[in-house]
């Protein structure tokens, strides 16, 4: 598997099983195996999953922001050669905080850092930023299953 940075949409599809419209990572710009990863999501007005707030503004749903960070973390886990035939499963979310809404036209920079990564379980710390300001952060636990369930 070629992991030459930046990873574009096609390279990400070779790593993750997710496909449009549920693939929420457009590009990976930084990757340190077993340590950290940075991915990008461009939020477009054309994204059909935007939700509408009470004031009528369209926003990127916080649940999908959590999923996007989890997908970046999954790419980090699957970048490790011994995990390439595994399936990372989101097992838990802890102390996730959403600090402000993400609007169409904004670019989300998502970073995941390894807290602990074993052969069966892992814990990652995730943060999402827009223009350098944190919009969401928290901790995720993942289980590593076989490639086929």
Domain of 110: which CATH number?
3.10.129.10
Per the CB < 8 A criterion, the answer to whether 140 and 102 are in contact is no
Q: Give the SS3 label for residue 12.
A: helix
Q: What are the Cα distances from residue 1, in Å, to 4, 63, 84, 139? A: 9, 30, 9, 28
pLDDT digits 0-9 by tens, 132-142:
999 999 999 99
Domain boundaries, position 68: 9-146
In a domain, residue 89? The reply is: yes
In a domain, residue 79? The reply is: yes
Statement: the pTM of the whole predicted model exceeds 0.85: yes
- Calpha distance 103→88 (Å, rounded): 29
Total structural domains in the chain? 1
The residue assigned the tokens 């169409």 is: 104
Q: Does the pLDDT at position 54 exceed 80?
A: no
In a domain, residue 1? The reply is: no
Q: What is the number of residues in the chain? A: 149
């Amino acid at each position: 598997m070629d992991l030459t940075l930046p990873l574009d949409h096609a390279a990400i599809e070779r790593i993750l099983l997710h496909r449009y419209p549920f693939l929420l990572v457009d590009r990976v710009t930084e990757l340190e195996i077993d340590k950290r990863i940075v991915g990008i999501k461009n939020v477009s007005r054309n994204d059909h999953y935007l939700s509408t707030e009470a004031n009528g503004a369209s926003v990127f749903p916080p649940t999908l922001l959590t999923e996007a960070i989890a997908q970046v973390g999954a790419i980090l886990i699957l970048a490790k050669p011994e995990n390439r035939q595994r399936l990372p499963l989101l097992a838990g979310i802890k102390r996730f905080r959403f600090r402000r809404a993400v609007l169409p036209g904004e670019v989300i920079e998502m970073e995941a850092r390894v807290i602990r990564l074993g052969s069966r379980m892992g814990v990652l710390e995730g943060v999402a930023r827009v223009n350098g300001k944190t919009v969401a952060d928290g901790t995720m636990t993942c289980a590593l299953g076989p490639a086929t369930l």
